[in-house]
């Protein structure tokens, strides 16, 4: 039995499975259904495991956030039917399908993205920066 040196919130489930010599930890938020996992080779490394559990709890409770800013006169964005619609100096708006498990909110010219998986946000913003037919520096990370 592993004893962790802090108390988990009541809505967080922690499960441990051993596969060969690896110990795999699963964390799940019962309210939102968000989950993550990590593994440890050395089950006696309580400092590393505690740090990973705290990071995992943060991930399933709050998730990851990133922002990009639209810099330009008349640049606007909106979210319509699971699509991010950017008006960035072109006659027609540019539509980007929002990936699953990514939540987008517009705050003026800022595009705020939240997800339990940071790589999904990074890939989505990279696709926007790569496909946007405008000059460099008009869409930037904040």
Report the distance separating Cα 126 and Cα 132, nearest Å: 10
What pLDDT, on the 0 to 100 scale, is given for residue 79? 93
Question: Given pLDDT bands bounded at 50, 70 and 90, which one contains residue 96?
Answer: very high
How is the chain split into domains, by residue range? 12-61, 64-141
Is the full-model pTM beyond 0.85?
Answer: no
- Give per-residue pLDDT as tens, 12-52: 888 888 888 888 888 888 887 778 888 888 878 888 888 88
Range 64-141 classified under CATH 3.40.50.800? no
Q: Is the pLDDT of residue 93 over 80?
A: yes
What pLDDT, on the 0 to 100 scale, is given for residue 27? 87
Q: Is the pLDDT of residue 141 over 80?
A: no
Long-range contacts of 134-139 (CB under 8 A, 24+ apart): 134/72, 134/88, 134/89, 134/90, 137/71, 138/70, 138/71, 138/72, 138/75, 138/88, 138/89, 139/68, 139/69, 139/70, 139/71, 139/88
């Amino acid at each position: 039995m592993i004893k962790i040196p802090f108390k988990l919130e009541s809505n967080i489930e922690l499960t441990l499975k051993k596969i060969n010599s690896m110990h795999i930890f699963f964390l799940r938020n019962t309210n939102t259904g968000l989950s993550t996992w990590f593994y440890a080779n050395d089950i006696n490394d309580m400092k590393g495991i505690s740090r990973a559990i705290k990071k995992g709890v943060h991930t399933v409770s709050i998730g990851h956030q990133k922002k990009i800013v639209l810099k330009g006169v008349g640049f606007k964005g909106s979210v319509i039917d699971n699509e991010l619609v950017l008006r960035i100096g072109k006659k027609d708006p540019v539509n980007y399908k929002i990936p699953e498990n990514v939540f987008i909110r517009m705050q003026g010219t800022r595009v705020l993205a939240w997800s339990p998986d940071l790589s999904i946000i990074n890939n989505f913003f990279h696709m926007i920066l790569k496909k946007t037919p405008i000059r460099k520096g008009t869409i930037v990370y904040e």
